[in-house]
Amino acid sequence: MLESVVYTTVFVSDQDRALDVYTDVLGFEQRADNPTPDGPRFVAVGVKGQEDFQLLLWPGTPGQAQPVQGRIPAAYTIEVEDCRKAVEALKSRDVKFETEVLEYPFAYIAGFQDPDGNRLQLREGR
């Protein structure tokens, strides 16, 4: 039956710009950039060392989720070893965070957006 989830789609307005941000700024590695018949390219990125899951950067309308407690939930969450350190590293690359590091009993979390308005978050489990 079911084996695993292999990719999820992140809707972007410009695949080339998104590929640059996800690889050059956020540090993902490019996994695929293949043409499709009569359509957009199949562009996928993933976290180095995590071979079984990818983000598909696909043309579409990004960032259209319903708010929860006044905030739009993250499209996806990236696990990090040290949330504060990761936030500072990404800020140095001009990533604009919507919050400082939030402390919850289960994790430290910080949210930001990609250039298309997709909300992402960093998470350090506790």
Quote the number of domains for the chain: 2
Would 65 be classed as within a structural domain?
Answer: no
| String of DSSP letters for 51-95 | TT-EEEEEES-------BTTBPPPSEEEE-S-HHHHHHHHHTTTP
Would 26 be classed as within a structural domain?
Answer: yes
Res 21: pLDDT: 96
Res 73: pLDDT: 74
Residue 35: give the domain boundaries.
7-59
**CATH number of domain containing 52:** 3.10.180.10
Which among 52, 51, 46, 35 is positioned nearest to 10, based on CA atoms?
46
Q: Is the pLDDT of residue 61 over 90?
A: no
Res 92: pLDDT: 96
Would 48 be classed as within a structural domain?
Answer: yes
Residues 54 and 11 both lie in one domain: yes
The model's pTM: 0.78
Which among 14, 47, 31, 38 is positioned nearest to 114, based on CA atoms?
14
Would 1 be classed as within a structural domain?
Answer: no
Neighbouring residues of 17: CB distance < 8 A, sequence distance ≥ 6:
115
pLDDT in tens, 1-57: 656 778 888 999 999 999 999 999 999 999 999 988 888 898 999 999 999 999 999
Residues 86 and 115 both lie in one domain: yes
Question: CA 34, CA 76: separation in Å to the nearest integer?
Answer: 23
pLDDT in tens, 68-115: 667 777 888 899 999 999 999 999 999 999 988 999 899 999 999 998
Res 63: pLDDT: 65
